[in-house]
Amino acid sequence: MPEPGREIMDRVGALIDETGCERTQLLEVLHRVQAEFQHIPRAAAEAIEQRMNVPVADTYGLVTFYDLLTEHPVGRSVLRICEDVPCCLHGSDQMAEEAAKRLGPEGEPSADGGVSWTRCACLGLCDKAPAALWREQPLAPLKVHDIEGIGDSHA
């Protein structure tokens, strides 16, 4: 049986085959790795070093810079709750409290790995405040029962 790191490296190699191995594709590659593994595993950074000639340190430089990339696993589905001014005026802090109550600590995946939630910066949906993204699509205005529904399906 191949070791898990090997499997990840092979899979990331296949992703790089799709995008091309030039440095300019790095963010796109990392988006795809994040979508598949819910974080950027060390083995992925090593595969990127081998195939794209990008040092592991550089990959983590991007991972720590861009909010949509994470060093540690998040849920397969992520709820992002905007915390900026227009949403704040429309109760986004209470939504975040609700999420903490029903979905657990911010950034930590549920027991089944299915879902996690996080606060985020303005989503450009301020006309529908309080705004959120659920599985990368707008969920706005976010309501308590949306959060309940997400919590119930990952209890």
Partner 1 sequence: MTAMHEAVLLRRRGAKAGDLKSYIGSGGLAALKKARAIGPEETVRILTDSGLVGRGGAAFPAGRKWESVRTAKDPIRYVVLNTDESEPGTFKDRVMIESDPFMVLEGLLIACYAVSATRAYIYVRGEYRHVAELLAKSLRELQQAGHLEAVGPNGAALEVEIRRGGGAYICGEETALFRSIEGYRGEPMAKPPFPTVAGLFRKPTVVNNVETLANVPDIIAFGAKALRSRGTERSPGTKLFSVSGSVDRPDTYEVPFGTRLSDLLELAGGGKDLQAVLMGGAAGTFVFPKDFDLSLSYEGVAERHTTLGSGAVIAFDRETNLWQVAERLGRFFAHESCGQCVPCRVGTRRQHEMLQALAEGHGRGDERGLLTRLSQVMTDASICGLGQTAATAVRSLLEAESAGLLAN
Residues 6+ apart with CB under 8 A from 121: 67, 82, 83, 84
Q: Which does 24 bind (CB under 5 to 8 A by kind): partner 1, ligand FES, none?
A: partner 1
With respect to ligand FES, which residue has the nearer C-beta, 63 or 125?
A: 125
* Dist CA 4 CA 31 (whole Å): 20
The reply on whether position 2 binds partner 1 by CB under 8 A is no
Are residues 72 and 43 in contact, defined by beta-carbon separation less than 8 angstroms? no
Nearest to 136 by CA among 73, 88, 72, 75: 75
CA angle 6, 114, 130 (to 5 degrees): 130
The reply on whether position 82 binds ligand FES by CB under 6 A is yes
Total site size for partner 1, rule CB under 8 A: 39
Residues 102-121 that bind partner 1 (CB under 8 A): 120-121
Residues 121-140 that bind ligand FES (CB under 6 A): 122-126, 129, 131
The reply on whether position 61 binds partner 1 by CB under 8 A is yes
For ligand FES, which residue of 84, 108, 113, 119 counts as binding (CB under 6 A)?
84
* Dist CA 73 CA 125 (whole Å): 26
The reply on whether position 47 binds partner 1 by CB under 8 A is no
Residues within the interface to ligand FES (CB under 6 A): 82, 84-87, 122-126, 129, 131
